[in-house]
A = this chain, B = another copy of it.
Amino acid sequence: MAGSLRDIRLFVAAYEERSFTAAAQREHATQSGVSQHIRKLEHGLGVNLFSRDKGQVAPTPAGDSYYQRCIDVLRAHATATNTVKPFAGGLDGQIVIGLMPTMTRCLLAPVLSAYAGAHPNTVVRIVEGYSAPLTQQVRSGELDFAIVPAFAGLPGLKSRLFLRTPEVLVSALDADVAHMVPVSLGAVRSLKLVLPSKVNTRRQSIETYCGSNGVEIARVIEMDAMMGTLDFVARSDWRTILPGIMMAVDDPRLKVNPLCDPPLLLDLVLIEPSRRPMSKAAETILAMLEAEAVRLNARWDAPPPASARLTQPPRPPSKPRAKTGHRS
């Protein structure tokens, strides 16, 4: 096929300058080179592009037509080159992360947009799921890493503590507790709880906690749907117990109360395949996830200051308000 980009550039220069010599200067080449390139082009196309009469080069009709199209080629090429510029400078590759719904509610969005902005050349894929399938997928290498509740280590997995977050009681707005004030579960009468099913690691901890601390559960509904659980709690007098990191951002429909006497803590661990080191990109987004998690989780570190209630009393009387920032 006729015509490298260099040929075309030199031809365009010669066409515009109406002179091989001038074209050579413009393109930092020699007159000889221009002449040869154009001859090659003409030979390849089977058409003369210039008529070289009288010591002047004048484009032939073919040259005129070809020039128009060559402009298109060069513009397309420049466009192509520019297109990738925004991707330069950052990390690249493909990251597949497994997260539980717990993590995706508050943590994911800010981290994802920050990472995608800084490293646009990375393909980030989030797989939402519960601990068992996520663990399996990390083992098989489908996931670069996942964050799951702590569990006894498995062969092929490398794990470490990612975050320790308190479990919190979540109720509808009309519950008779103040938002963010620590509560003792044992003090709640006729406790109706929406809990994850028994396959969920946390269900075990919660039941153990209740048993050890004399908490009496009046009724239980099993639900493994996070969005559904929140919605149901918001519209009923049922409550649920969720990891604090998940409720780090207030939901205007819900009240949240850390458990006390004693607190119930959830350990989330990072798991990755032990056979290979994490990619730079995965390490980077993990660090960002961790930093954001710590930042959000700080809400639960201290007993709620007096300002907590003031900052975000979800609808103190009962009139609806415009939604404002819910950060602590």
Contacts and interface: CB of A to CB of B under 8 A. Distances in A.
Interface in A47-77: 47-49, 51, 53-54, 58, 60-62, 65-66, 68-70, 72-73, 75-77
Given A4-B4, A76-B76, A84 B58 contact: no
A60 B81 contact: no
Contacts of A62: 84, 87-88, 92, 120-121
A93 interface: yes
A84 B120 contact: no
How many copies of this chain sit in the oligomeric assembly?
2
A141 B81 CA distance: 48
A84 B72 contact: no
A81 to B, nearest CB: 6
A94 B51 CA distance: 7
A73 B71 CA distance: 11
A3 B279 CA distance: 28
Contact of A60 (B2, B60, B79, B122): B122
4 smallest CB-CB distances across A and B, nearest first, come from: A69-B80, A62-B87, A46-B88, A72-B76
7 contacts: A3-B81, A45-B88, A51-B94, A60-B94, A60-B121, A69-B80, A73-B76
